Chains A and B, each alone.
Chain A
């Protein structure tokens, strides 16, 4: 997948389900990821969207960017609404009132709508085994409401509710492992992805929607506005997050872990952190501590994948 960049546009499906003209910031990684994801999903699909950047940028009345049937209701209930859509179609198909046997139900939400306020609804939907794909676009904070921390914000990042200061390092807790929590539900398909690796992302989304039962994909999505970085760095930062081991790419199929990409050697995390204002206050010691923990977590994951081979 590495080194394919020049061919990428020709390798990807042409289908665009999200029309241009939406209002995402320049360099938005979430909308890039969403565009890629929906190339894989096709037109026989229904989208259930949580409140957050991806909802607000594409749906201001009386316009919409969506070429798919789309519903947004609230912030924290996306997985539950998707469960209802799935159940409704299933019942109507059985009773002969709906003719498509394979309509994909795709729930999309930000990290806040997934790892925090929407976790209960998500857990319920995964546990009940609905046939749906849930995609979390993780930009590591509540960006739509002005860059507040979520439990997916990485340790040390400064946000408006975890501001760095004399008495504060910024975010005080380690990023919640939501893919791990999804795996703990013993669902058939879990994966991580990043729009900096579009072919990988699209393949995973394809697998996700073709899975019978619940699938969960956690997509690391750069946010120049929230991270305080140049707008042309989104794709590069995604790659750096993967190459430093901060956001490893992997799949878990029926409990079996597979690494999608293994850098020969982890890059120093400063390569990733330096261009971002949210990490600028961190001391060398803090960075070193973070780097060590990143490595520990990365090798733990690698070991899981290795020992299952």
Chain B
């Protein structure tokens, strides 16, 4: 049985990617992802991981090399953050459209300028529409568990899609936590070997990545969309299988103290654990508040979200990114869109905060919840609120 050990989340993610027996790692260093790729390089250098490590010259090439190795049929892992994810941008679309299940950890980071190595969700929100399965995790254990699940989800023959596991830069990537890293044998029982159905192989030539004239393009894109939507059921099945074997269960929308809540706070990522303590504190003071967290960002969990907020009066959405010049937080606008046509729905109040590594404390979340309720009662001249900004 695997033991619980104190380990930095980044290193744990590398350990578990190695335990998943990856064939190829192609990666480029960037804070706060660096420890992941450094540790993988170590594991290969020490002979603990039998893989090809490609120290590429950029993230664009990192993701491009990943396309090549998956197309050849090799299990492939990479990691990035911030600027690196943006430099990959063009290639991310290709990975999903060509059904190449690259598995990637993103240690979420702000995007320049001003330069910031610290965490927020601007990087992944700009990559929202690239067609990947996107999961958010809240602590080191979840990062480890979901990295294992990501391989099984992405490589499933009904899915064959790349998967991004988002773990907050520094707040999570650099945190030393007690984490259970499953043994290789246990992982082997859970995760079958990668068997890409139509790899590049001289015995059976395939053409991958042809160009599509207008008579075919719409159909190609629609097929991709249907496939990503349908991956939902497989994702749920795999989380269930994981839970049954390892005892830790995951859901697309996680709930905390939602029973009888008039007000719900919605968060994503590692700040959720702080938000829980804020909910505890307000509950102690007699307030009927709860928390929901979106774990599965793509494909978007419409039904689960609608169910989770049913009967709530106020829904306060906390975003760690701004859609500049637009409706504020990207999560808030998607949540609003998902609820808008319902006959019975909560009022949605959007907050943006935690940008570029700015912390939000328990007291901070309490303040956000109380201010959100106040706005629900009396309105606000703003489309959304920015939390903690100094004028």
Contact = CB atoms under 8 A, between A and B. Distances in A.
Q: Do the two shown chains form a genuine complex with each other?
A: yes
Interface of A: 43-46, 48, 55-56, 59-64, 66-74, 76-77, 79-92, 94-95, 97-98, 100, 103, 120-121, 123-124, 127-128
Interface in B245-263: none
**Which of A59, A68, A69 has the most CB atoms of chain B within a 10 A radius of its CB?**
A69
Interface string B11-50: 0000000000001101000000000000000000000001
Nearest to B21: A95
Nearest to A87: B52
A92 B74 contact: yes
Contact of A73 (B64, B201, B202): B64
A182 to B, nearest CB: 15
A100 B202 contact: yes
27 contacts: A59-B207, A60-B210, A61-B216, A71-B200, A71-B208, A73-B94, A76-B60, A77-B91, A80-B60, A80-B65, A82-B68, A83-B65, A84-B24, A85-B72, A89-B72, A89-B74, A91-B52, A91-B74, A92-B23, A92-B73, A95-B50, A97-B73, A120-B58, A121-B61, A124-B56, A124-B57, A128-B54
B264 to A, nearest CB: 42
B96 to A, nearest CB: 12
B206 to A, nearest CB: 6
B66 interface: yes
Contacts of A61: 210-213, 216, 220
A94 B210 CA distance: 30
Contacts of A83: 26, 54, 56, 61, 65, 68
A70 B51 CA distance: 24
Contacts of B23: 88, 91-92, 95
Interface residues of B, number: 46
A62 B219 CA distance: 12
Given A59-B207, A59-B210, A79-B61, 4 more contacts: A62-B216, A69-B201, A74-B91, A84-B65
B209 A87 contact: no
B26 to A, nearest CB: 6
Contacts of B64: 73-74, 77, 80-81, 84, 121
B141 interface: no
B55 interface: yes
